[in-house]
């Protein structure tokens, strides 16, 4: 190992709340986290070994075993499957000579699956040693594995760079932005610093007031009014306040944050600083998913640039006492860390298990201090609202959803990518905009959202009708909805559940088994409603949104595509347990030497 | 109105659940006022003679005979109730579920110390005998079960309350003491 564990810990002041960063560095430098390192970390940070192990074991990208000189994490989301993941996976296995979830015999190449990596508009895609490889096919895989066998560096393996800043010296990535529609809020011209300058002439209350007047609602999914959240936070008396920007973007099919951070990082950071001013927060944290680690150097340099321009740091833009700075906290592969309280736990170096609420983060969040968590897009919108005024913002969109929304559109359509639209756009018009034909279904809002049928194509994207955090997956007529979509999503929730709540942990598996039974043709017609009945428990008895929405793929597909289920069940039987006497007695008859008489 | 018809059976169970049913003492007289028994060990009727309203099942399924009887019950009863742990989860007989059925048969007929005179290693394989299933199945894995009465055995009052509730259509009283497992 290059740097010693001790010096890595030292870098983080031997602070146990920075355990995530410490483990990430060890994993990155060493390829895995060996037992000696665990012991050393525990000793240096003065915590117990199990404290280290419990954090380590929670996250997908931390491993205690060697996972190869070249580690391939191939996305297994529904969209990746739709775009040909199976062939790509087969090619990897053939060329590397090992199966997925294992290491090649010489220990050189490891093949692993991972949940959506935020590249749905350029699937199938994989992360190899931290770099993203998009639009894979069996031929490209062959070349890649040849490169690995020849010992090329990961940078040498990226042949062509993507557009915009993806091609910059600090990124050098083959990822494309695919910005298809630029709207007035996020992608129109803006001079960095304008809003920050403006707020220094206002009181924090005035800033909160403007954001309230704009009716800006959170873009992370839940749609909570941003100004109101800030107001609640300001009402909590405390020495310290924290502002967090949620860039975990784990909802399968979402990739808009990636594009904003690539092309508009200054807008994001300025939004954080404006929020910092309004909340009297000195520190902001950008919680960035591990999958986007290839943006690290670039984002750090943008932060430095902004510090040099006095847009961050001490006495920002000359305003006495306006101190605010930002650090980037990386995750390590866990969808649930996008949930705001899990995100806070993770920032404190712990397992990403959601907290009980109340208290809410605005009362007691990071380090038990009041904390506001806002989505990347929400904070970008704030900057433009301050610049142009609340009225400008409310003129756009629909009655309860002001402004614009950035959609990540993928699946069976010609123009996959991001679109900034005004809230209130009709699904039918979106279909036309993205060049989709013969659409069978659309998954609105990712797996936790709704699977809609053509009957709903007259509906509109907005909080009062069809809300979305931004993910839209278009599903064409040739797709097998239950296998390609519903089963994949249900397995996603099973994989990503943190396991705290019994219903989330167990019922989702029961639902999957019942779904598989229906798909196998062994179920009777009553079992569709029975399955639907079982989905109720997820809403009732889970702590966080993950478990509460984990039954949505099954629930909304039964509601909107009942015929897909009816195709599989025996319509002349109410119920069938699938019990097969012949196979149940086969072994014993064989052993005692008799022919089964059934 | 004719009396509701009840059938009962013991599959892979110990007859303890039936014993519990008889444990309602003199209330058994009230019970036969309330319902008529059909196929059941209680009256020794061996085959269904008419369609029944309620079937009470004790024990899970460990062989082909159990499976046939259970399916027969499903066909002939409007409502099926799994009575007791064995019916609900396989219970004690399901202890063999972790062991391959071959090993269980070998142990019973060849290995066990009480077997002395089986030098030829004969295993029972007459066509008349039920065939042993690979594991013990809870009833609901073989047919659809409508209600479950937990306990080993469920208390007499619980069975009585349940049957009375099904017959009268009144809601069942289920105080904690009746369904607790410890
Ligand atoms: C399982 C789960 C995952 C989530 N993932 C994200 C995410 O990736 N990004 C995000 O902004 N919000 C996510 N959220 C919502 C956050 O909890 C929170 O509401 C949001 O970050 C608040 O910001 P906003 O009000 O600006 O939308 C997630 C929620 C749940 C339950
Ligand atoms: S609902 Fe699921 S993910 Fe959320 S806290 Fe409970 S177990 Fe964890
Ligand atoms: S549940 Fe208990 S009492 Fe009933 S048959 Fe099984 S072992 Fe016997």
Give distance in angstroms: CA of A465 to centre of ligand 1: 19
**Gap from A506 CA to chain B (nearest CA, Å):** 17
Report ipTM (2 d.p.).
0.92
State the average pLDDT over residues A398-406. 95
Of the candidates A459, A554, A458, which has an alpha carbon nearest to the alpha carbon of residue A507?
A554
In this structure, the residue with its CA closest to atom 6 of ligand 2 is A501
Q: Is the pLDDT of residue A485 over 80?
A: yes
In a shared domain, residues A471 and A506: no
pLDDT at B179: 66
Q: A545 in ligand 2 pocket by Cβ < 6 Å?
A: no
Burial of B134 (0-12, 13-18, 19+ CB in 10 A): middle
Taking the C-alpha atoms of residue A79 and residue B49, their distance in angstroms, rounded to an integer, is 58
**Domains in chain B, start-ordered, CATH in brackets?**
5-96+134-178 (3.40.50.700)
- Report how many Cβ contacts below 8 Å link chain A to chain B: 60
Taking the C-alpha atoms of residue A408 and residue A428, their distance in angstroms, rounded to an integer, is 16
Helix (H, G, I), strand (E, B) or coil at B25: coil
Q: How many domains does chain A have?
A: 5
Residue A549, in any domain of the structure: yes
Chain B residues closer than 8 Å to A531 by CB = none
Chain A residues closer than 8 Å to B77 by CB = none
In a shared domain, residues A492 and A470: no
Taking the C-alpha atoms of residue A399 and residue A394, their distance in angstroms, rounded to an integer, is 9
Q: Do A588 and B102 touch (CB under 8 A)?
A: yes
In a shared domain, residues A313 and A195: yes
State the average pLDDT over residues A284-306. 98
In a shared domain, residues A447 and A532: no
In a shared domain, residues A154 and A236: no
> Per-residue pLDDT tens for A334-390?
999 999 999 999 999 999 999 999 999 999 999 999 999 999 999 999 999 999 999
State the average pLDDT over residues A120-129. 98
In a shared domain, residues A143 and A102: yes
pLDDT at B172: 83
Pairing of strands B61-63, B132-137: antiparallel
Pairing of strands B5-10, B52-58: parallel
Question: With bands split at pLDDT 50, 70 and 90, how would you rate the model's confidence at A522?
Answer: confident
Structural domain ending residue among the three candidates A457, A479, A501 = A479
Give distance in angstroms: CA of B168 to centre of ligand 3: 27
Task: Report CA dihedral (A77, A82, A85, A87) to the nearest 10 degrees.
Answer: 160
In a shared domain, residues A413 and A383: no
In a shared domain, residues A299 and A187: yes
Taking the C-alpha atoms of residue A100 and residue A102, their distance in angstroms, rounded to an integer, is 5
> Per-residue pLDDT tens for A196-240?
999 999 999 999 999 999 999 999 988 999 999 999 999 999 999
Q: Which of B74, B121, B131, B141 should we substitute to test contact with A (largest number of A Cβ atoms within 10 Å)? A: B131
Percentage of chain A surpassing pLDDT 90? 96
Taking the C-alpha atoms of residue B82 and residue A247, their distance in angstroms, rounded to an integer, is 51
State the average pLDDT over residues A571-583. 86
pLDDT at A574: 77
Length of chain B: 182
Q: Is the pLDDT of residue A537 over 70?
A: yes
Residue A114, in any domain of the structure: yes
In a shared domain, residues A208 and A276: yes
**By the 8 A CB rule, do A125 and A174 touch?**
no
For the entire predicted model, the pTM comes to 0.87
pLDDT at B182: 58
Domain span at residue A315 reads: 181-394
In a shared domain, residues A473 and A509: no
Q: How much of chain A is in helix, strand and coil states, percent to nearest 5?
A: 45, 15, 40
State the average pLDDT over residues A553-576. 92
Residue A490, in any domain of the structure: yes
> Per-residue pLDDT tens for A229-267?
999 999 999 999 999 999 999 999 999 999 999 999 999
Structural domain ending residue among the three candidates A344, A363, A394 = A394
Residue A154, in any domain of the structure: yes
Q: Is the pLDDT of residue A333 over 80?
A: yes
Residue A576, in any domain of the structure: no
The token pair that represents B113 in the structure block? 């110390």
pLDDT at B18: 96
Nearest residue of B to residue A526, measured between CA atoms: B144
> Per-residue pLDDT tens for B80-123?
999 999 999 999 999 999 999 999 999 999 999 888 888 889 99
The token pair that represents A148 in the structure block? 């690995």
Give distance in angstroms: CA of A289 to centre of ligand 2: 19
Chain A residues closer than 8 Å to B125 by CB = 589, 592-594
In a shared domain, residues A356 and A306: yes
pLDDT at B1: 59
Find the CATH number of the domain harbouring A422. 3.10.20.600
In a shared domain, residues A265 and A295: yes
Structural domain ending residue among the three candidates A13, A31, A56 = A56
Please, what are the averages of pLDDT over each run of 10 residues along chain B (182 residues)?
A: 91 96 86 91 94 97 98 96 97 96 96 88 94 97 93 88 88 76 59
Average pLDDT, chain A: 96
Residue among A502, A542, A549, A551 to mutate when testing ligand 2 (max atoms within 8 A of CB): A542
Nearest residue of A to residue B135, measured between CA atoms: A584
- Judged by a CB distance cut-off of 8 A, whether residue B134 touches chain A is yes
Residue A367, in any domain of the structure: yes
Residue A468, in any domain of the structure: yes
Residue A164, in any domain of the structure: no
Q: Is the pLDDT of residue A2 over 60?
A: no
């Amino acid at each position: 190992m290059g740097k010693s564990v001790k010096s890595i810990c030292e870098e983080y002041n031997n602070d146990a709340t920075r355990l995530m960063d410490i483990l990430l560095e060890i994993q990155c430098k060493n390829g895995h986290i060996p037992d000696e390192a665990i012991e050393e970390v525990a000793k240096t940070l003065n915590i117990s070994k199990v404290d280290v192990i419990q954090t380590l074991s929670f996250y997908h990208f931390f491993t205690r075993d060697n996972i190869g000189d070249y580690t391939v994490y191939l996305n297994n989301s529904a969209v990746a499957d739709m775009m040909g993941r199976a062939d790509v996976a087969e090619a990897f296995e053939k060329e590397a000579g090992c199966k997925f979830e294992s290491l090649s015999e010489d220990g050189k190449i490891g093949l692993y699956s991972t949940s959506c990596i935020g590249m749905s508009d350029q699937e199938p895609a994989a992360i190899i040693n931290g770099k993203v490889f998009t639009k894979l096919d069996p031929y490209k895989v062959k070349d890649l594995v040849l490169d690995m066998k020849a010992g090329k560096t990961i940078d040498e393996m990226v042949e062509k760079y993507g557009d915009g800043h993806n091609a910059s010296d600090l990124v050098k990535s083959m990822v494309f932005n695919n910005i298809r529609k630029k709207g007035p809020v996020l992608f129109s011209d803006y001079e960095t610093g304008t809003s920050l300058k403006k707020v220094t002439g206002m009181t924090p209350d005035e800033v909160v007031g403007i954001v309230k007047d704009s009716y800006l609602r959170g873009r992370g999914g839940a749609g909570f009014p941003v100004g109101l959240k800030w107001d609640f936070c300001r009402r909590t008396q405390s020495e310290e306040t924290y502002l967090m920007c949620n860039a975990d973007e784990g909802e399968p099919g979402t990739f808009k944050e990636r594009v904003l951070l690539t092309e508009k990082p200054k807008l994001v950071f300025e939004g954080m600083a404006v929020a910092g001013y309004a909340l009297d927060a000195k520190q902001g944290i950008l919680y960035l998913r591990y999958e986007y680690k290839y943006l690290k150097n670039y984002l750090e340099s943008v932060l430095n640039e902004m510090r040099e321009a006095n847009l961050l740091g001490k006495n920002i833009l000359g305003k006495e006492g306006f101190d605010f700075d930002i650090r980037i906290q990386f995750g390590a592969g866990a969808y649930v860390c996008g949930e705001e309280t899990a995100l806070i736990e993770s920032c404190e170096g712990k397992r990403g298990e959601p907290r009980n609420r109340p208290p809410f983060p605005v009362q007691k969040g990071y380090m038990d201090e009041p904390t506001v968590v806002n989505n990347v897009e929400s904070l970008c919108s704030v900057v433009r609202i301050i610049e142009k005024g609340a009225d400008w913002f409310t003129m756009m969109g629909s009655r309860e959803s002001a402004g614009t929304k950035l959609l990540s559109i993928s699946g069976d359509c010609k123009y996959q990518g991001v679109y900034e639209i005004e809230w209130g756009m009709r699904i039918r018009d979106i279909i036309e905009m993205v060049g989709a034909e013969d659409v069978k279904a659309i998954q609105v809002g990712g797996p936790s959202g709704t699977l809609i049928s053509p009957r709903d194509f007259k509906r509109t994207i907005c909080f009062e009708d069809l809300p979305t955090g931004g993910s839209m997956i278009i599903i064409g007529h040739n797709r097998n909805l239950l296998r390609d979509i519903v089963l994949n999503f249900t397995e996603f929730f099973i994989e990503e559940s943190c396991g705290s709540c019994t219903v989330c942990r167990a019922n989702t598996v029961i639902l999957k088994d019942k779904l598989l039974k229906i798909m196998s043709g062994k179920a009777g017609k009553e079992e569709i409603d029975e399955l639907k009945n079982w989905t109720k428990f997820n809403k009732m008895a889970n702590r966080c949104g993950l478990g509460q929405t984990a039954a949505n793929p099954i629930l909304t597909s039964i509601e909107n595509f009942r015929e897909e289920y009816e195709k599989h069940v025996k319509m002349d039987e109410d119920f069938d347990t699938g019990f097969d006497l012949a196979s149940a007695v086969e072994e014993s008859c064989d052993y005692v030497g008799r022919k089964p008489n059934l | 109105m004719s009396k509701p018809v009840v059938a009962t059976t013991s599959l892979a169970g110990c007859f303890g659940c039936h014993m519990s049913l008889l444990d309602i003492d003199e209330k058994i007289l009230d019970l036969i006022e309330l319902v008529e028994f059909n196929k059941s060990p209680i009256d020794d009727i061996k085959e269904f003679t008419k369609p029944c309203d309620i079937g009470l099942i004790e024990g899970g399924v460990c062989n082909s005979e159990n499976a046939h009887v259970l399916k027969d019950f499903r066909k002939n009863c409007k409502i099926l109730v799994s009575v007791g742990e064995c019916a609900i989860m396989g219970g004690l007989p399901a202890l063999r579920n972790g062991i391959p059925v071959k090993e269980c048969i070998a142990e019973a007929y060849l290995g066990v110390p009480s077997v002395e005179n089986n030098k030829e290693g004969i295993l029972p394989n007459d066509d008349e005998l039920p065939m042993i299933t690979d594991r013990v199945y809870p009833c609901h894995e073989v047919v659809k079960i409508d209600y479950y009465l937990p306990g080993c055995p469920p208390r007499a009052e619980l069975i009585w309350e349940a049957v009375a509730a099904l017959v009268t259509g009144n809601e069942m009283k289920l105080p904690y003491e009746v369904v607790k497992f410890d």
